[in-house]
Structure 1
Amino acid sequence: MKTKEQIPLIKADHAIPFVDLLGQMDIDVYPFLRKAGLPEDMLQTQHQYIPKSALQQLLSLLVEKMGLAHFSVFTWRLCRDVYIPHFIRQLNNPQTVEEALIQVIEAINADTTQTRLSLRTVLGKTWFVRERGKANADWFILAEHFSVIFIIELVRALTTANWSPKEIAFQSNLSLEHSKLLLLKNTQLYSARSVTACSIERPILTRPLPPSFTAAQTIKQPATINNFTESLILALTPYLTMGRLPITQASNILDMSVRSLQRRLAEEGQTYSAVMEQALQQQALAMLADPSIPITRIALSLGYSCTAHFSRAFKKQHGASPRQWRKNIIA
């Protein structure tokens, strides 16, 4: 299934440091989350995925609040101190920088949809490539800026050297301000290219890694998302604590029109109301697995008017009442 047929998603864990930044700036977090379209319980609940459009909106709001220069400094620190150590801890005994980069690429590709990373050799040069559909928006430039910083800091961490790429290609029209904030010397910058990419010399790629980069963890495999409907359920699940979302609210969260959302579902023989019910039932199963959550609270939190209404809907879907289902799985 082509990724363009799915809702763009990103692992919720990747948004947490940006949300934490709001608290560090002594900003009231919740109005920012609402404005960005992020779940208000981001810091209290373990969500799997969030819509990428919500994180993109948050990036734009952060730059608007703190300025591009301060945001860039924060990005360098975030990549160096949070994101790169996270992925390095997942390395599974790579022997060279190239093997380590391939493992990190696999891990990142498992955590996001639509943006794809790869190592690619073109005309004798090897590039760390980021492929993403071009968008004429401020968030795209910010995300691209972040990606380049991440690549540079990743290679520096693996080589323990102050490495800089000799060439960088940008999809966006790179402004003078953005180029200065990269803090690079003797690097050739190209703009308006088909992909974002940093060149990496072969002697760097073949450099052996020290034993300290060996870890016991293994790279997670990409989540299997087969179609638009499945990606929609994953995208909306973090918001189900607000109950049954109207289609207008869902379209705002996903940054797409109601008509487009209905059309994409119709192409798969689905309706929004049916998909929302399916999402609510999946959330109900997850909540019922926790015996400390009363069934009444589950019903009300998922937007059912009463426990009886929830029980009828649940039994129709699963062939047992919520109470019976919980008793069976705990027994």
Structure 2
Amino acid sequence: MRGYTRASALGPIADFVETRGGSINRIFQRADLPVTLLNSPDQPLPLKDQFNVLSEAGREIGDPFFGAALGRLVSMEKLSAFGRWVSGASTLEGAIDRSNRGLNKYLQTGTVLEFGVLGQTARWSIEFLDSGADGRFQNELLGVSYLIDGVRHYAGRTWRPALIRSTCVGPKQAGALEKVFQAPVMHGCKVTAVEFDASLLSAVGRPRAAPETRPDSLVPPASGYREEVMALLAIALLEGPPKIDWIASKLDTSRRSLQRSLDAEGCSYSMLLDDLLKDRALTLLASTDQDVTDIALQLGYSDGPHFSRAFRRWTGTAPSRYRSAKAALGAGSEGV
């Protein structure tokens, strides 16, 4: 089962790595991802690629518990629209309910959040259904850090967990993690979780200045190739013209098998790429003042004329005329 997440889940990884003497560019190069992905926090990416980035980051700076160290800097509120929606709940109990209901829709698939209360102890757990070797362990540490920050949003910044359950091995690893989390850690657990006093469930969150909105952008489904290919094409386009072999490798399949799978779903790689380029071109022309030639190069065209011919095929008009028409329409609506 392939899970997907959003780039925002990596938190402030670039600044953190650089302050520890590492190179974020080198990490993303080894993970075979464009580092510009970090400038697109809402962009979906395969969960296994996030595992890989965290694994490579741990190797880069020599930290076997990189996910926990990075986790000390993460913020639930900055976890895209999903995090803002969760943090907007009136109480901690409401925030946990929103997280558990909305995670697989708005932020991350292939992941299970569970919550329970036994006596006076509340337990909030996170489990990843996607495999990922040591990168999975790093993501467990990062994931529980988001849960901890979610509780702190209501319990106060000085609050510490009563216990953290970890899949780490042995008391030595647990002891090392206790220094990072500044809380007791139990090793050898099947699922990573944070435990706290159940009385905190009624704790009230900080008032919000902006009105609350529910996220409306969904992450790709866990089955079918069409949406997955579209998400990967968007990532590849951040660095240059997408390559089908790169897409296939990210999906753990061959170029030929990918083409057959897309054909079975009634589409093709070239069709999906064309749709993405069209949508991106329309967005850039309508929402930016970039030169048409710059947009052409950004979308992987060799020059402006090649892009203009493709745009005419899509819309029946030239890029400059489309932009002028959109600007005139916007000016007219402002005057109403």
Is TM-score (shorter-chain normalized) higher than 0.5?
yes
* Further displaced range: 104-113 or 57-66: 104-113
Structural mapping, 1:67-146, within 5 Å? 67-68=62-63, 71=66, 74-79=69-74, 83-84=75-76, 86=78, 90=85, 91-92=87-88, 94=90, 96-105=91-100, 108-109=103-104, 110-120=106-116, 127-146=123-142
**Which secondary structure does the structure 2 equivalent of 1:78 belong to?**
coil
Structural mapping, 1:169-188, within 5 Å? 172=167, 174-183=169-178, 188=186
Quote the residue 1:238 is aligned against. 235
Quote the residue 1:52 is aligned against. 47
Residue 141 of structure 1 aligns with an amino acid whose one-letter code is: F
| C-alpha RMSD over aligned residues | 3.5
1:139-177 deviations in whole A, cap 9, x for unaligned?
A: 001111222233234324422364434573x5x564544
TM-score (structure 2 length as normaliser): 0.77
Deviation at 1:59, TM superposition (A): 0.8
The 8 Å contact of residues 67 and 140 in structure 2, kept in 1 or not, is answered as: no
d(CA) in 1 for partners of 2:134, 2:120 = 34
**Which secondary structure does the structure 1 equivalent of 2:296 belong to?**
helix
* Residue 34 (structure 2) aligned to one of 35, 39, 45: 39
Deviation at 1:124, TM superposition (A): 10
In the superposition, relative to structure 1, how do residues 117 and 314 fare at CA in structure 2: closer, same or farther (>3 Å)? farther
1:292 aligns with 2:292: no
The 8 Å contact of residues 121 and 127 in structure 1, kept in 2 or not, is answered as: yes
Q: In the comparison of the two structures, how many residue pairs are matched?
A: 315
Quote the residue 1:249 is aligned against. 246
Quote the residue 1:323 is aligned against. 320
The 8 Å contact of residues 51 and 132 in structure 2, kept in 1 or not, is answered as: no
d(CA) in 2 for partners of 1:42, 1:139 = 19
Quote the residue 1:310 is aligned against. 307
1:269 aligns with 2:266: yes
d(CA) in 2 for partners of 1:178, 1:153 = 22
Quote the residue 1:282 is aligned against. 279
1:13 aligns with 2:8: yes
Unaligned stretches of 5+ residues in structure 2: 329-336
In the superposition, relative to structure 1, how do residues 313 and 122 fare at CA in structure 2: closer, same or farther (>3 Å)? farther
Structural mapping, 1:200-211, within 5 Å? 200-205=196-201, 207-209=202-204
In the superposition, relative to structure 1, how do residues 46 and 189 fare at CA in structure 2: closer, same or farther (>3 Å)? closer
d(CA) in 1 for partners of 2:103, 2:308 = 40
1:25 aligns with 2:17: no
Unaligned stretches of 5+ residues in structure 1: none
1:276-325 deviations in whole A, cap 9, x for unaligned?
A: 22222222122212452122222222222343332232222333332332
d(CA) in 2 for partners of 1:93, 1:46 = 22
The 8 Å contact of residues 52 and 132 in structure 2, kept in 1 or not, is answered as: no
d(CA) in 2 for partners of 1:70, 1:190 = 15
Deviation at 1:138, TM superposition (A): 0.8
TM-score (structure 1 length as normaliser): 0.78
Residue 151 of structure 2 aligns with an amino acid whose one-letter code is: V
Residue 327 of structure 1 aligns with an amino acid whose one-letter code is: S
The 8 Å contact of residues 140 and 192 in structure 2, kept in 1 or not, is answered as: yes
The percentage of aligned residue pairs carrying the same residue is 24
**Which secondary structure does the structure 2 equivalent of 1:140 belong to?**
helix
